[in-house]
Structure 1
Amino acid sequence: MRSNQLDGQPDSVVGRVFTLLSAFGPEDRTLSLAELSRRTGIAKATAHRLLRQLAEWDVVEISADGVRVGMGLFELGLLASRSVDLRAAAAPFLADLFEATAGETVHLAVADGNDVVYVQKLEGRHGPPMASRVGGRMPAYCTGVGKALLAHAPPERVASVFAGDLVRRTPRTVIAPGLIERELARVRESGIATEHEESTVGITCVASPILGEDGMAVAAVSITGRSTRIDVGRLGPAIRTAALGISRSLRSASRRHHP
């Protein structure tokens, strides 16, 4: 029995929801409530309640014929495929950065609300261990990738970050919106963002935005390592070149798919 199950069934609402959605097979267009209950072992009353809630978010559709997967779930799937496209386009550039820096940590991140989410990470050979992980998140205002993303973000996203809780994570964390805004202006001018022990003591990061056709940042790439090892002046041009290369690769792929 897995740790997240009780008597063979999920012991959380999220677990039950995913169990219901996973009951649909490739050939199943529509399933009845009775069939879903049979396949999952979830009581019909519970399954009915959860499905009604999922229908409100368009994750499933309920009709007289039964239950089918909704467009909301399809749209979420498209978000995941875009992340895969981004990682595929960035992969050779990330590998080159990793080798060129003799194995410093390389990150690829995207924006999610007031945070950044790491979608790829090449773990450094020199330590120290970092809190970042693929699928993990950090505040945008105090990370190199976050500043790179905010410098080329819609004004409302920047305003949302400034209106949020700007916590001083280390003695060097900048939390004054005016100072952060001036730094974002420098990032827009140079194409390079830096973080000196603002999110983690002893860690320095140099980052650059990956821009879409509209000039907005779709992602950011960074090199991160011990403050005693990271030379921003030397690594800045390398990270900028990688970001420009990924941007061109993404735009080329987009034109091929949408001529």
Structure 2
Amino acid sequence: MPSAVARTGPVVARALQILGAFTPDRRSLTLSDLSRHSGLPVSTVHRLVAELVAWGALERDPAGCYHIGLRLWEIGSLAPRGLGLREAALPYLEDLSQVTRENVQLAVREGTEVVFVERIAGSGAVPVLTRVGGRFALTATGVGLVLLAHAPADVQELVLSCPIKRYTERTMTTPHQLRVALADTRARGYAISDRQVTMDALSVAAPIHDSHGEVVAAVSLVVHHGSASTQALAHLVRTSARAISRALTPSTGP
């Protein structure tokens, strides 16, 4: 019969299973919850959780439930792709937010998903389903369409070969629809997501390039559908994207 270690894997893998039990919908978990969602025995969870709490990766509240700890957030914030990009982009995102009073979003591609690096919510802006650090499908959002349009061909084919989630009646769910949308995005220099995530939102996004000309991120405005023209939004977003791209390009000096 296999040992407990063989069944549950190395210590680091088991610790990651525990951390992976937390999701946006599961932010507070008991020991039994952690055992159930991680697939590990309660005794194993109890021992590892004590170590994770001592290190600061988890915190325990007075009711006995566990939450992601502040130290884990501190470590995560050091990720260079997120931190450097966010620091370079933030002044331009704030300018865009002040001008429009709308939702401004910054995102990168991680595999076959979008990861949101920053989001600034405007006063009275349309509610959105995204959050900083959250993941979303590449096929529905404005930033996702930009990043997918400029992704390697094998990534595009993988995404288009998998089932495509429908969020609203207007969500593009066929490979043909998406191929047309991706081609249009590359041709005009920005993406449009019109009521594809929620029926009250329009998103326009543009690519951000690094010093080698590669698309490394995307910036978007998300507004109430019908409140502004896509051309006006595209001009603002593309201007911000170009400014961020310049900020990511080191100056060679004289």
With the length of structure 2 as denominator, give the TM-score of the two structures.
0.70
Aligned to 1:80: 79
Aligned to 1:124: 122
AA aligned to 1:160 is L
In the aligned structure 1, how far is the partner of 2:50 from the partner of 2:84? Answer: 28
In the aligned structure 1, how far is the partner of 2:191 from the partner of 2:201? Answer: 14
Q: Quick check: 2:211–2:250 contact (8 Å CA) kept in 1?
A: no
Aligned to 1:158: 156
In the aligned structure 2, how far is the partner of 1:80 from the partner of 1:116? Answer: 16
Q: Deviations over 1:170-221 (max 9, x none)?
A: 1111122122122212211221111100111111001001122443321100
In the aligned structure 2, how far is the partner of 1:147 from the partner of 1:163? Answer: 16
In the aligned structure 2, how far is the partner of 1:198 from the partner of 1:119? Answer: 21
Q: Deviations over 1:73-105 (max 9, x none)?
A: xxx96971321111000001101111111x100
With the length of structure 1 as denominator, give the TM-score of the two structures.
0.68
Aligned to 1:244: 242
Q: Which residues in structure 2 correspond to 1:14-93 (within 5 Å)?
A: 20=51, 80-93=79-92
Residue 223 of structure 1: CA displacement? 0.3
Report the 3-state secondary structure (helix = DSSP H, G, I; strand = E; otherwise coil) of the residue aligned with 1:228. coil
Report the 3-state secondary structure (helix = DSSP H, G, I; strand = E; otherwise coil) of the residue aligned with 2:180. helix
Aligned to 1:175: 173
Q: Which blocks of at least 5 consecutive residues in structure 2 are unaligned?
A: 1-26, 39-44, 57-74
In the aligned structure 1, how far is the partner of 2:47 from the partner of 2:204? Answer: 42
For the pair shown, the structure with the greater C-alpha radius of gyration is: 1
Aligned to 2:204: 206
Aligned to 1:225: 223
Report the 3-state secondary structure (helix = DSSP H, G, I; strand = E; otherwise coil) of the residue aligned with 1:201. coil
* Percent of aligned positions that are identical: 39
User: Residues 249 and 175 from structure 1, CA distance in 2 versus in 1: closer, same or farther, beyond 3 angstroms?
Assistant: same
Q: Quick check: 1:209–1:217 contact (8 Å CA) kept in 2?
A: yes
1:144 to 142, 156, 160: 142
Residue 18 of structure 1: CA displacement? 7.1
Report the 3-state secondary structure (helix = DSSP H, G, I; strand = E; otherwise coil) of the residue aligned with 1:125. coil
Q: Which blocks of at least 5 consecutive residues in structure 1 are unaligned?
A: 26-75
Q: Quick check: 2:141–2:193 contact (8 Å CA) kept in 1?
A: yes
Report the 3-state secondary structure (helix = DSSP H, G, I; strand = E; otherwise coil) of the residue aligned with 1:252. coil
User: Residues 127 and 241 from structure 1, CA distance in 2 versus in 1: closer, same or farther, beyond 3 angstroms?
Assistant: closer
In the aligned structure 1, how far is the partner of 2:82 from the partner of 2:128? Answer: 22
Report the 3-state secondary structure (helix = DSSP H, G, I; strand = E; otherwise coil) of the residue aligned with 2:122. coil
Q: Deviations over 1:26-82 (max 9, x none)?
A: xxxxxxxxxxxxxxxxxxxxxxxxxxxxxxxxxxxxxxxxxxxxxxxxxx9697132
Number of residue pairs matched by the alignment: 202
RMSD: 3.0
AA aligned to 1:99 is Q
